[in-house]
Homo-oligomer: A and B are copies of this chain.
Amino acid sequence: MKSNPNPNPFDEALTLEPLAEGRYQGHTHPAFANMVGPYGGVSAAQVLQAVLLHPQRLGDPVSLTVNFCAALADGPFQVRAKPVRTNRSTQHWTVSVCQGDDPVLTATALTALRRDTWSAEEHTAPAVPAPQAVPQRSGAMRVEWLQRYEMRLLDQALPSVWDGSDQGHSRTRLWVRDQPPRPLDFASLTALADVFTPRIWHRRARLVPLGTVSLTVYYHASAAQLAATGEGYLLGQAQGQGFGRGYFDQSAQLWNEGGTLLATTHQVVYFKE
């Protein structure tokens, strides 16, 4: 087996050292640093990873909600994943991430044995140019984690002038994949669910301080569909719904190049006036 000459640090970031059943020690990874603390998508992926590694796990992820209670400090953390209810085909999880005695993340998840049924995609992929026809985002990035994703923007990255003028809407679309490319799995799909720029920056043309407080991911993809997606691009679309009184929410969808809906995701974000 030859070693990968250009590994993606995501695998290092996902490394959780077992301390006891369902308890792991993890560490923030400098390759995914955000302005303060780590990129939230990687924290969400680490939470999911604690569930995926659990010896009692039943099935694949159906839903995940991660609450960001406080900024993670750069350094080690402990994750605890607990299967609180296991039914015949479903399993409910609570997860917490602590630094010292302080909880920094709380989460709940559902995994399930899924089988083929009638299916339909109602939120279908929009018609957009192929990824190869869209220039790759380049230049200096504000934060380190942005370097970990190859992005081909189908809309303007952010307003070109920060004049606080209402842009009318916040919907944007992009092609995105891990950089360097890495075969898609549930953990990396989870991280990608948080890849969208906060909608208030698009809508308001003002770079207000902010932070996601709660993120939910619904998994539509099977492990086989993720494997088939491999290192291909995902098409992402995000849009805000309501902004006010210090919080806004945004919803997003992720499809693969074949147009299969892999995940839908929602989050609520604190912002400072």
Residues of A within 8 A of B (CB): 62-63, 65, 67, 69-70, 84-85, 87, 90, 92, 94, 96, 102-104, 106-108, 110, 112, 114-123, 166, 169-170, 199, 203-204, 213-214, 216, 218, 220, 222, 239-247, 249, 251, 253, 261, 264, 266, 268, 270-271, 273
Contacts and interface: CB of A to CB of B under 8 A. Distances in A.
A237 B186 CA distance: 30
Given A118-B204, A247-B62, A266 B268 contact: no
Contact of A241 (B112, B216, B253): B253
Contact of A62 (B104, B120, B251, B268): B268
Copies of this chain, whole number: 2
A268 B218 contact: yes
Contacts of A70: 85, 87
* Most B CB within 10 A of own CB, among A92, A103, A107, A251: A92
A121 B242 contact: yes
A249 B221 CA distance: 13
Nearest to A68: B92
Going nearest first, the 8 A-B pairs with the smallest beta carbon separation are: A119-B244, A69-B85, A123-B241, A114-B245, A220-B242, A117-B273, A65-B65, A69-B92
B204 A112 contact: no
23 contacts: A62-B268, A65-B65, A67-B108, A69-B84, A69-B87, A84-B106, A90-B270, A92-B106, A94-B94, A112-B247, A117-B244, A119-B243, A119-B244, A120-B244, A121-B241, A121-B242, A122-B239, A214-B216, A218-B247, A218-B268, A220-B245, A242-B264, A266-B266
